[in-house]
Structure 1
């Protein structure tokens, strides 16, 4: 008798009964494990959010320990059309005036007129020398260029650019109808960029094609823009530089002169960057604490409990993060003294006015309090501070770092989930084996009962057949 006919003999030992018994056992041995697995998976999912929020909190605290936060500078010019200024991290905080009387210019020379860009420049082979001289007339660079009777004005332009392209640029400009000229344009500003061309062999052509020293490119070269240095007063002191971009006047400060005139320059601490980083930390802290409060919430009602309400690790982390703000501080004060405080809603906020008061009073002390360093006390003595955000970063890192508390907690949850999955698999196999055996036994019992029923029916029939003969 097959399993599909189970119960045909007895009418009692049916597959339906086995299924009911099996489901009852599953409810007792497998379903509780399923519930634990579901809870563990939910916790792992929720943990991923908390873990990411703690990483963000750590990164925001770490950024406040970095050099550039309190050393960044912002430079402003009262008249930007006169000069722009940029300042590197750590440059001195300062104010000064600039009175620009002359901008630096780039030297530009032009040749005499040629009939076209393809005019021949020489009657025979030879060479010319292009000299670059400083303001005193001394040659600072010299370039020899060979020519021949087939060289055109265009060829000469290309040869100059190939040889002396790092210092000047040669171009051909059509000034008028049948009037083409070679222009030499200095790459750098200043008075030390003066050009001259010397014909070494006397074979350069003049404007009539004759070979008389090449007056078009030598004697008749003229200056259209005189290269001069920039001149200005720095706080009343006369200064001269060869470029309009000045990097060597003040350490870490670049001044770009734009026009003549007067402007006032301020190099200040970039307070907006400081505020932005502190506000970023506050946002990340508030987000992390909101989620931790939700996840660790206690309640007598199961539906109102947080998913980590029974987790000592998560509750301890929340408690430490809550205490962090009030516990950080010491000789240099507390975070509240620098504008970082709890609001009535229990969230952190920044009082920008208080922060700026501290920065106005002593920016070095603010840096020391937040990042560590030498703090000057009211009595003039000094104290070495570790730095509030170094402490915060260190405390948060204890949880968020690779191999830290949260990593270990996650590994523990993953191990628990694996263990539960194994338990479920074993429990399911045991039930499958138990009820497979039960089905076989019941099938055998049912077959026996069926045979007995058949024998009983036969006997009854025989008895009934003999009865009328009595």
Structure 2
């Protein structure tokens, strides 16, 4: 509490006097506490920095103590875009060769041409069967199933093994594409029509295929005008009385005649013609009967009967002989398939297959009709596929107006990968091979590739981590030196100067870095050097040379060695240099960043700041209260002195007056 008029009465008890007294007490009571708070805050900041630097240092120490870094492997000898090999940690150091590679491939099937994706795939109902890897998928279809519908149905049912799609390869030219999901010979895709053969050949025929015109049945004659049987009946003499009767296939045809022989034969002709089944012709005493239906045959079971026993007759059957060849040219070879007057559609199929030497011909049912289908002996388009008739008797359905079914194609044949491993031929279904060497993956990228592969310990990774360790060590030690020493010339004192808990850190670390183990190994031999000023340096070349002299002993020097008995219990344990350093850093940092020396010091510093702040607050409150009381008393004293001064002035005036009057 400051009073501006304080001292007005006395001229002695002024506010400046109180301020001077309070400043003196503040300097002796409050300032020391504030100094301590500042120091603890500085220590807290310093400890935070040390903890961060120590954590970075510990990270490298832990990495070099962990066996994982010594299990890392490098692979050399990979050939870009041809052979790629990777090795997991811990794989045995080794070398091997890869040569004569043949890539595993997927099966890719391309159908024949469809004019659009909405084209129908069949003129009837049935089932399309797709086989892959020992599994058959049956896809039902109808006459209203389109190419797009088929793609959807295949993917819905067989999508786990293959993918169906459509590809437009030209104007009004769409193809069904089937691709196996995996590689390998077992992934070969097969397509067949397991129903009545109404599926469009473009979907499952891979050969150039032609189809004839339609026949009424599989046993139809293949001739343009099938030959017929004819029977000539010859009478040996004129008959004076009686009649004649002839039985044809169980039907009797008879007439009476008189001495007018010609008239009698004419009447008999009329009776035959009236049947509609046969036609009769007369020549002299002969009458010839011919079937009206092409290819029909008949039998006369009662060739002659008459009441005149002296009369006689004879019959003669005639069937013209037909011969020729159905000439089929494909893949540069012409096959001459013989036919005659008795050849039917199904017998022609047998003759074609026998002549060609393989089952290239078949009969396809198209609705209620039948069609001859001939497949090329080779897959793919064949511009030389043609047919002709050398005899001139065949139906034009077999030679002109032939339907050419656009064949599908096996765009890519499914096959296994093949290669030589150290000269031994190996096959696998995939181009990624993981089962030859445990932990090693071989990727074949190109046919005909070769590579000499070396799998070695990744010393570069260890060297890099060692370099990181040296950098983190120098940063940590530099800060420790600054925080724990006094510079008389610069007039600076480290915040932890004289603090043994902090000064011991650099001493403990340096002691381990300069130690020698029982095998005579030291970090100095691995390219680590300490200067007189305590700065550490690292020579990577020296490190690699020393480490590779004996990688087993080097690893043991760094991370130690633990052996186990038959029961899995630890039999012996030898700590490495970084095992010891890891234990030291853990002692300072604690487990998971707590309960270590630095953490405890940080906590203590923080607690000290809190406690000192509380002490300062209390001391300030007491000091403020004291001077508020003092100010109040000064005001009171000043008032009294003012009154006394006033009284004295009045008295002085009286005295002065009396003296003047006297």
TM-score (structure 2 length as normaliser): 0.65
Helix, strand or coil at the partner of 2:434:
strand
Distance 1:301 1:413, change over 3 A: farther
Equivalent of residue 576 in structure 2, options 369, 387, 395: 387
Post-superposition offset of 1:424: 1.6
3-state SS of paired residue (1:188): coil
Superposed, 1:154-193 pairs within 5 Å as: 154-193=148-187
Q: Does 1:231 align with 2:423?
A: no
1:199 aligns with 2:193: yes
1:310–1:432: structure 2 CA closer, same or farther, 3 Å change rule? same
| Shift of residue 344, structure 1, vs aligned partner | 5.5
* Equivalences for residues 385-424 of structure 1 within 5 A: 385-401=574-590, 402-424=594-616
The total of aligned residue pairs comes to 456
Deviation of the 1:345 alpha carbon: 5.1
**Given that residues 328 and 392 in structure 1 are in contact (C-alpha distance below 8 angstroms), is that contact kept between their aligned partners in structure 2?**
no
Partner of 1:136: none
1:303-356 per-position Cα deviation (integer Å, ceiling 9, x unaligned): 232221121211112211221211363336222233333246532233323322
Give 1:396 shift.
Answer: 1.0
Q: In the alignment, does 2:281 pair up with 1:92? A: no
The structural deviation recorded for 1:455 is 1.2
The answer to which of 338-347 and 253-262 deviates more is: 338-347
Distance 2:81 2:444 in 1: 8
Q: For residues 12 and 271 of structure 1, what CA distance do their matches in structure 2 show? A: 86
2:535 paired residue number: 347
Q: Distance in 1 between matches of 2:496 and 2:10?
A: 53
CA contact (8 A) 1:298 1:304 kept: yes
Instruction: State how 1:244-263 maps to structure 2 within 5 Å.
Output: 244-259=431-446, 260-263=448-451
Relative distance call for 1:141 and 1:349 in structure 2 (3 A) is farther
- Give the equivalent residue in structure 2 for 1:145: 139
Counterpart residue number, 1:379: none
- Preserved CA contact (<8 Å) 1:332 1:369: no
SS at match of 2:189: strand
Residues 150 and 66 of structure 1, relative CA distance in 2, 3 Å threshold: farther
Task: Give the 3-state SS of the residue equivalent to 2:477 in structure 1.
Answer: helix
- Residues in 2 aligned to 1:144 and 1:328: alpha-carbon distance in whole angstroms: 76
More strand by proportion, 1 or 2?
A: 2
How big is the alpha-carbon RMSD for the aligned residues of Structure 1 and Structure 2?
A: 2.8
Asked if the contact 1:365–1:374 (Cα under 8 Å) also holds between the matched residues in 2, the reply is: no
Give the Å deviation of 1:141.
Answer: 1.6
Match of 1:430 among 591, 605, 622: 622
TM normalised by structure 1 equals: 0.90
Return 5+ residue gaps in structure 2 as ranges. 203-210, 212-364, 376-402, 564-570
> CA offsets, 1:125-171, max 9 Å, x none?
433221114xxxxxx12222222333211111122122222221212
- Residue 243 of structure 1 corresponds to 430
Of stretches 409-418 and 300-309 in structure 1, the one that deviates more from structure 2 is 300-309
User: Which aligned pairs between 1:94-113 and structure 2 lie closer than 5 A?
Assistant: 94-113=94-113
Query: 1:173, 1:183 within 8 Å by CA — same for their partners in 2?
Result: yes
Q: In the TM superposition, what is the alpha-carbon distance from 1:384 to its structure 2 partner?
A: 5.1
- SS of the residue corresponding to residue 327 of structure 1 reads coil
Residue 443 of structure 1 aligns to a residue whose secondary structure is: helix
Q: Deviations over 1:425-456 (max 9, x none)?
A: 22212211111111111111111111111112
Structure 1: 5+ residue runs without aligned partners? Answer: 134-139, 376-381
Superimposed CA distance per residue, residues 207-254 of structure 1 (whole angstroms, 9 cap, x where no aligned partner) = 6995689999x9954312111122211111111112111111111111
Contact 1:329-1:335 within 8 A present in 2 as well: no
What residue number does 1:306 align with? 494
Which aligned pairs between 1:117-132 and structure 2 lie closer than 5 A?
117-132=117-132
> Which residue matches 2:453?
265
- Contact kept in structure 2, 1:369 and 1:385, CA below 8 Å: no
Q: Does 1:56 align with 2:62?
A: no
- Answer with 1 or 2: which has the greater Rg: 2
Q: Are the counterparts in 1 of residues 113 and 406 from structure 2 also a CA contact under 8 Å?
A: no
How much has 1:464 moved relative to structure 2? 3.8
CA displacement 1:97-129 (0-9 Å, x = unmatched)? 111242222111111221111101133443322
Determine the structure 1 residue equivalent to 2:506: 318
Worse-superposed segment, 358-367 or 201-210: 201-210
Which residue in 2 is equivalent to 1:42?
42
2-side partners of 1:329 and 1:221: how far apart?
76
Q: 1:269 to 1:171 in 2, by over 3 A?
A: same
**1:32-64 C-alpha deviation (Å, 9 max, x unpaired):** 222222222122112211111111111111122
Q: Secondary structure at the match of 1:5?
A: coil
Paired with 2:97 and 2:515, the residues of 1 have a C-alpha distance of 46
Q: Please, which moves more after superposition, 73-82 or 112-121?
A: 73-82
CA distance in 1, matches of 2:366, 2:530: 91
